[in-house]
Amino acid sequence: MPDIAAIATILTSIKTATDIAKALREANVSLEKAEWKLKLADLMTSLADARSSIAEVQQELIEKDQRIRALEEERAKKKKMIYAGSFYWLEENGQKDGPFCQRCYDVDGKAVRVHDLTNGYSECVACRSTYQNETSRRGRPNQAITDFDPRNI
């Protein structure tokens, strides 16, 4: 929501422009040409200020709408994220996508893919968490290995 100061500035500019327009309308013919031009210039300045302020408020509202949409999309994605073993999986239309790193998703809110190292372990490229793969566990659930570095095999 635009701040109160921006809205007050817009209203002040519009009120000033309205007051000048009334003065011009009510001015009698005796108003000198130079004075008329000065009042008209003031009117144009007030209207330009109002237009500029409205454009700023409009831009701020657009940015807020975009942020709201992004947050709604993120929320919808979180509802589709399921935790199985030590991984997160994105489940949509009966299809599973993943696996994603449990640590990155829980701590940073980011869905980072875990990559198979082909030695019975998988690793997150972002945080370097290492997970034992299902095929090498003999029925035990996926679990993060904290003191193991598969690159040293």
Give the model confidence (pLDDT) of 86-106 as tens digits. Answer: 788 888 888 888 889 989 998
CB atoms inside a 10 Å sphere around CB 86: 19
> Is the same domain home to 31 and 71?
yes
Percent of the chain with pLDDT over 70: 80
Q: Is the dihedral angle over the CA atoms 11, 13, 19, 22 positive or is it negative? A: negative
Does residue 1 or residue 61 have the better pLDDT?
61
- Chain segment 29-79, per-residue pLDDT in tens: 556 777 777 877 888 888 888 888 888 888 888 999 999 999 998 888 888
> Is the same domain home to 69 and 102?
no
Question: Residue 67 is part of which domain span?
Answer: 4-78
> Is the same domain home to 32 and 71?
yes
Tell me if the pTM is above 0.95.
no
**Residue 141 pLDDT:** 47
**Residue 63 pLDDT:** 92
**Residue 69 pLDDT:** 94
> Is the same domain home to 54 and 110?
no
> Is the same domain home to 99 and 74?
no
> Is the same domain home to 68 and 93?
no
> Is the same domain home to 118 and 69?
no
**Residue 68 pLDDT:** 94
Both tokens assigned to 2: 């635009």
> Is the same domain home to 26 and 71?
yes
**Residue 140 pLDDT:** 47
Both tokens assigned to 127: 């945080």
As a whole number of angstroms, the distance between CA 149 and CA 108 comes to 22
Q: 99 preceded by cis ω (within 30°)?
A: yes
**Residue 20 pLDDT:** 78
From the CA atom positions of the chain, what is the Rg in Å? 31
